[in-house]
Structure 1
Amino acid sequence: MTLREMCEKCKKLDPKIWIASYVLISAILLYWYPPVQISHFEINNVTSNATLENQYRMTLAQILGGGAVAIGIYFAWKNFIIAQENLKAAQEGQITERFTRAVDQLGNDKVEIRLGGIYALERIANESDKDYWQIMEILTNFVRINSPVIDWDNKIQELKTPSSEHIKDKCKVRVDIQAVINVIGRRKYFFGAGEQKALYLRHSKLRMISLFDALDGAHLIGTDLKGAHLERAFLDFSDLIGATFNGAYLKKTEFTNSCLNMAQFEKTDLRWAIFKRCYIKKAYFSNADLSCANFSNADLTNTNFSNAVLANANFEGSILIEAKNLTVDQLSKVKTLYKAQLDERLEAELRAKGYSHLLDVKPEDEP
């Protein structure tokens, strides 16, 4: 048997055996060691001999007492570690039980119970990093399964003569879907800061969803929203850096004061969308429909407008320095470029072709 194996075997011994062994060895040493040491001095005086023996015994008792304290501290520490491990195991067991119960609640027919499950999952995600990402995946899957594009389109088709009020009533956002979006918006981590992957909400129908009502801005950095329906959604003050909206439907969606740097809007319907005071640097609007969109005071530095439709769009006070694939033909169709910052070449060409009024005339204020 190797020394390492012996040590491992000793660790498995009952602490009571160690304590009993220490007490026995201490008693033997206290009885045997002092007389042996004194015998070397050859002291004939009985009183002196007894005094010296007691001094040795007291010194040895102090040493052994210190050892006993050290052993007591060790076993107390070991018991503390075991207690902590047991507590952690108990907590994990409770979390697992709560997790299972919350997931079961998501499938309940009653919206009140589903809401309870959603908020229970949010609490677990805040408490347990181990379960955090799995919960985010469950919640995003809940949205995609319960609010798919095809389901919403079918609801519209059910109405033979759909008025705006009928559509609003028939296709209003479910309370539980709104609750999930709120939870996602206020989660403790986001893409690049605690999350290794972007949230997946592709092809979700989130028409008229609201993030602003429940939050002071949402963290949806890098979120995949390809093909999502977010018509009339409120995304004000949201953090949407690098989010993907390719092929999405964002008609009349509000992004006021949001950060959309490097966001992708390729072939996206953004008619009447509001981007007031947004940061939209290095974003992509290739083949997007931006008719009547409002970009007043937005920063669009280095943004790509390849084949984008800009008819009647408002660029008052916006920054369009180094914009990519932005042509005079596109800009000639906008509502205004009053106080907008353009590359000198583009501005000169606009003036040369008779579009100075877009740059110099202040438009009527929009609501």
Structure 2
Amino acid sequence: MAVQRAGTGISECYGRVRVGRPALRHSLTRRRAAERRQIRNAGRRGDSSHGGTPWLALAATLPGLAALIALLFNWVSVSQTKTQLQIAQQEQFTTRFNVAVTHLGSSSVDVRFGGIYALERIMQDSPRDQPRIIEVLSAYVRTHASVPAGGYPMLKGHEEPPPVDADVTAVTEVLAERPPSQDRRTEINWKDADLRGLELTRRHMKKESGGNSSASRHLPFSFADLSGADLQKADLYGVDLQGASLTKANLAGATLSDVNLSEAFLTAANLTKTATDEEVNLRKATLEDAILVDAQMIGTNLTGAYLTSANLTGAFLKGVNLRHADLGVDLKRDKPGANLTDAVLWRADLTQANLTGANLTFADLLFTDLTDADLMSANLTGADLSLADLSDSDLTQADLSGADLDAADLSDSDLTQADLSGANLSGADLSGANLTRADLRGANLDGADLTGARTDEAIGLEPPS
């Protein structure tokens, strides 16, 4: 049985209290309001159990963020300092460069020496300035050692050249010791320079005595411009002149030992009485119109060299390599073949060489290899070709009158219309040779092998018995 208390909305039912709906709603409302106040207060106090976690996490990251900002600031500061140092350093190099160049113009040789070695030090300290320094020092040589317009007279006999000025020698040594990898394609220019008697040799350089095995064994002068330079009686040992321009240069009496002249341009150069050895490399060098009178070129590599109209009169070419070399005429430019009169070519290799129209009068070609060589219209009058190998060679219309071909190998060679009058062919191998319309009047054919040879219309050849 329910009993309701007056004015309370609360009824009792069998001893239990039952809350009425209005009182319940009011109680829930007050509870929710209290919870909201509690949440707001907890947020203000940073209570982690009521939503304070994000703020605490953010606060925890602040020291790391500050450290990162400090690191970035330090990095920017260091970068700026480094840049400022580099700028200051370049300004210092510029100042040093200007002072050194000014010293080069001094009337005092001692001051000029200081300028030269100051530039050397700048090259070591600032590789980016090396190209400019090469140009400056090259100009110094051209200015202080220039060949006059008419050139210098040829040195006679044992006449010695004047000594090279000490400051010019210093420049050549500084450039010889530079690291070529920093040249940036800048080339040494000693055009029309007076370098008579210059000693540019590897044995004088620091890199030879310093024991640096990684250093190049050749002094770096590849692609240098030495056109018109006077190098009479110069001593060039261990120099790299690959691709260098020596057009009209005077190298008379010079010593070239272990010099690399591959693909160099020696057009109209004077190499009279020049001495070279087997380590000199003239592979594919251009020696058109070059003067090599009485040159000593023992064992020199001239593979593929261009020697059209070169003068090799009296040259000593023992053991030289002239494989694929071009010593023939140039009909398009009206250039004659090379002149090898009285030249000595003992045991030289002229395999597949072009000797069309070349002058080999009285040349000594003992044991020379002329296999598959082109000797069309060549002049071999009185030449000594004893024991020479001329197999498969083209001797069409060649002049071999009076030549000595004792025991020479002429097998399968083409001697069509060749002049062999008075030649010594004793013991020669002429098997398979083409002697059509060849002139053999007065030739000595004792013991010659003519097996399979074509002798149609040959003149002076006695018919077989």
Question: Which category describes the TM-score, using the shorter chain as reference length?
Answer: 0.7 to 0.9
Give the Cα separation in 2 of the matches to 1:203 and 1:44: 97
* Structure 2 equivalent of residue 135 of structure 1: 133
Show the counterpart of 1:74: 72
1:176 aligns with 2:202: no
Provide closer, same or farther for how the CA distance between residues 78 and 356 of structure 1 changes in structure 2, counting only shifts above 3 A.
Answer: same
| Superposition pairs of residues 211-250 of structure 1, within 5 angstroms | 211-212=200-201, 213-215=203-205, 217-250=218-251
Alignment pair present for 1:300 and 2:302:
yes
Amino acid at match of 2:300: A
Q: Give me the whole-angstrom Cα distance separating, in 2, the residues matched to 1:256 and 1:358.
A: 30
Q: What SS does the aligned partner of 1:149 have?
A: coil
1:33-72 alignment to 2 at 5 Å? 42-43=38-39, 50-52=46-48, 58-72=56-70
Q: Is residue 324 of structure 2 the alignment partner of residue 322 of structure 1?
A: yes
Q: How does 1:80-229 map to 2 (within 5 A)?
A: 80-150=78-148, 168=161, 171-189=162-180, 194-212=183-201, 213-215=203-205, 217-229=218-230
The answer to whether the Cα contact below 8 Å between 2:307 and 2:338 also exists between their aligned partners in 1 is no
2:315 to 297, 301, 313: 313
Pair member with larger Rg:
2
Q: Give the deviation of 1:337 after TM superposition.
A: 2.5
Q: Which moved more, 1:213-222 or 1:93-102?
A: 213-222
Q: Cα offset for 1:198?
A: 2.8
In structure 1, how many angstroms separate the alpha carbons of the residues matched to 2:36 and 2:87? Answer: 59
Normalized per residue, the structure richer in helix is 1
Contact 1:199–1:224 (CA under 8 A) maintained in structure 2: yes
- Determine the C-alpha separation between the residues in 2 that align with 1:163 and 1:305: 27
**Distance in 2 between the 1:77 and 1:142 partners?**
45
Query: Using a 3 Å threshold, how does the CA distance of structure 1 residues 256 and 41 change in structure 2: closer, same or farther?
Result: farther
CA distances 1:125-171 after superposition (whole Å, capped 9, x unpaired): 233243222211110110001001129968x89xxxx9966x64xx2
Task: Give the counterpart letter for 2:73 in structure 1.
Answer: F
TM-score w.r.t. length of structure 2: 0.60
CA contact (8 A) 1:288 1:309 kept: yes
Query: Secondary structure at 2:219's aligned position in 1?
Result: coil
* Other structure's SS at 1:75 match: helix
Kept in 1, the 8 Å contact 2:43–2:52? The answer is no
- Return the letter of the residue paired with 1:296: I
Residue identity opposite 1:218 in structure 2: L
Size of the aligned set, in residue pairs, is 313
Q: How far did residue 106 of structure 1 move?
A: 1.0
Contact 2:309-2:338 within 8 A present in 1 as well: no
Is 1:355 matched with 2:384? yes
- What is the CA RMSD across the aligned residues, in angstroms? 3.4
Paired residue type of 1:333: D
Distance 2:338 2:83 in 1: 69
Corresponding residue for residue 274 of structure 1: 275
What is the distance in 1 between the residues matched to 2:150 and 2:115? Answer: 24
Q: Which amino acid aligns with 2:226?
A: L
User: Normalized per residue, which structure has more strand?
Assistant: 2
- Cα distance between partner residues in 2 of 1:194 and 1:88: 22
**Higher RCO, Cα 8 Å, sep 6+:** 1
Q: Is the contact made by 1:211 and 1:217 (CA closer than 8 Å) also made in structure 2? A: no
